Amino acid sequence: MGSGPRPGNPAEGNLQTDRRRNPLFGPNRFKLGIFSANCDGGLTMSLAPDRWKAEWADIAAMTGIADEAGLEFILPVAKWRGYQGKAKIYGRSFETLTHGAALAALTKRIAIFCTIHVPLVTPAFAAKAMATIDHVSNGRAGLNIVCGWNQEEFDLHGVTIDQDSRYDHGLEWFQVWSRLLAGGPEFDWDGRFFKLRRLQTDPLSIQRPWPAVMSAGFSPKGRDFAAQAADVLFTNLTQLEQVPAILTDINDHMATRGRAISVFTMSHVVCRPTRREAEEFYHYFAEEMADEEGQDYYRRMRGTTARRSRVPLRLRPASAVERSRSSGRE
């Protein structure tokens, strides 16, 4: 979920944008979407037997319901390894470009994001793939750019992430990708990370100058990347009291680039007839049945990234009992 839209274009301010078909730029200031449904477990590191299984029929049916309900987007996670706990959350996942193309053909309104790890996909390949999905969806495609953080996932591909230069690499990747989709004559590229010849792509995307772009980032480098490349910054919020400080920090950072940006975050929704039943079910699947090993793996791998943030992040959210006590309800 998030807020927006942000008009204009981060890299080519003189180009006219035409993204009217994409609900990410629609009139609702508060956007709602579905995150991580392409992965086993979704967002829940739980041993509960009724957790999300990431069966294709369920994904397609759920996306259809969200599409008819008017939700703005669906956002998948690009995963190559799970979180190594007892439940093996994220161990099963659908690749996001093919996932996006299939859902684009099954839906009518909702924005369809694809998530790409830039160390694994060339900008020319990504330009062709995203233009294809944008045509299938009639202008509803979105790209979530990930510069890489978990080296163990990239070991499957024989690729090493340079943590110090990953955002520089990602920005140059975006510059090539966006220039391809902006159109124009063939061009060569001689950069720090890419040496490319006779670049061009056809067809171009329906959205002009290119599809909507999202990136996630906690650190100043991650936010600066978003300020130069993205329409939406996805960030993690585990405590409501963090929100004002984090949003202020983001807005201040974007202002240094002369930008404003939409901010998205994630949340769990537990549906039960009463609040008490919802909290009891939350306690069951999130605490009684918690996959502690998987959570420890996640915290260990993400801890370095979180520590680089200028606003402290609590990687373990408060329990339902803690929240009840803090609000005077038990």
d(CA 205, CA 200): 13
d(CA 78, CA 241): 30
Burial of 224 (0-12, 13-18, 19+ CB in 10 A): middle
Residue 119: per-residue pLDDT: 95
Question: For the chain, how many residues are written?
Answer: 330
**CA-based radius of gyration for the chain:** 20
Residue 206: per-residue pLDDT: 96
Residue 209: per-residue pLDDT: 95
Query: In this structure, what token pair is assigned to residue 147?
Result: 């510069």
For 221-256, the pLDDT digits (tens) are 888 999 999 999 998 887 888 889 988 988 988 998
Q: List Cβ neighbours of 2 (8 Å cut-off, separation of 6 or more).
A: 30, 31, 33, 232, 234, 262, 263, 264, 265
The residue written with tokens 């939700």 in the block is 71
Alpha carbon 252 to chain centroid, angstroms: 22
Residue 218: per-residue pLDDT: 75
SS3 of residue 26 by DSSP: coil
Each residue's pLDDT tens digit in the chain (330 positions)?
A: 555 444 344 433 334 468 888 999 999 999 999 999 999 988 888 899 988 999 999 999 999 999 999 999 999 999 998 777 787 888 899 999 999 999 999 999 999 999 999 999 999 999 999 999 999 999 999 999 999 878 888 999 999 999 889 999 999 999 999 999 999 999 999 999 999 999 999 999 999 999 999 998 778 888 899 999 999 999 888 788 888 998 898 898 899 889 889 999 988 889 999 999 999 999 999 899 998 888 887 777 765 444 444 433 333 444 444 444 333 333
Q: Which residue type is seen at 216?
A: A
Angle between helices 96-106 and 123-136 (to 10 degrees): 20
Residue 3: per-residue pLDDT: 54
Question: Are the C-beta atoms of 144 and 113 separated by less than 8 Å?
Answer: yes
SS3 of residue 252 by DSSP: helix
For the entire predicted model, the pTM comes to 0.85
The residue written with tokens 């240094």 in the block is 256
Alpha carbon 176 to chain centroid, angstroms: 21
d(CA 230, CA 263): 11
Question: Are the C-beta atoms of 212 and 159 separated by less than 8 Å?
Answer: no
Query: In this structure, what token pair is assigned to residue 161?
Result: 């992430």
The kind and range of the H/E element at 117 are strand 111-117
